Amino acid sequence: MTNDLPYSQACENNKAPILAQLQEVFVTPGKVLEIGTYTGQHAVHFARAMPHLTWQPSDRPESAHLCRQRLARAALPNMLPVVELDVGQSPWPVGAVQWAFSSNTAHIMAWPEVEQMFQGIAERLASDGAFCLYGPFNEQGDYTSDSNRQFDQYLKSQAAHMGIRDLTDLSALAEANGMRLTEQHALPANNQLLVFRRR
């Protein structure tokens, strides 16, 4: 057990159900861009389970260090070094990718940053690629659970720009960037995995 490394219990809890869905989407070899790698628990688990993929971790410049030691210890042949990526920067320090994945970022980012994340991914995504976004989401303006309502109130008390995003807004954003919400999978703890594909 790597108790000395940055650790997220939420990542540990959700990595298996997320992986089960990603294995149904990320079926062909290619590079995956992960936005918001955080502790690296997801990156290591997913890259190890899907050796046909090349995993590109990334995080904001002030957070990229959190995953470096875990990735180094895992020493996976299909894991690339983490890149410092702020979705608002231009140009992004990554090129074309087959797939993209992000977990628990849309409700932390300000909405303009969510827009920049979708735009940046759309500019790099292969024609037959997909973007998988995990987290809690509202549906038609309503919370899907009391726990999500409480979580949203907590987020907004921490920073006014944060909050759970609505599927209608995310779907419209995808459409504006040449993608379409094609699948939504209910996962534990009132979270979902959304799959956006090229139109």
pLDDT of 167-197, one tens digit each?
A: 999 999 999 999 999 999 999 999 999 999 9
For residues 129-158, b (16+ Cβ closer than 10 Å) or e, as one string?
A: bbbbbbbbbbeeeebbeeebbebbeebeee
Contact 177, 119 (CB under 8 A): yes
pLDDT of 68-108, one tens digit each?
A: 999 999 999 999 999 999 999 999 999 999 999 999 999 99
pTM metric for this prediction: 0.97
- 2 pLDDT band, cuts 50/70/90, is low
* Sequence ranges of the domains in the chain: 9-198
Fold of 9-198: Rossmann fold (3.40.50)
Average pLDDT for the chain: 97
Contact 15, 42 (CB under 8 A): yes
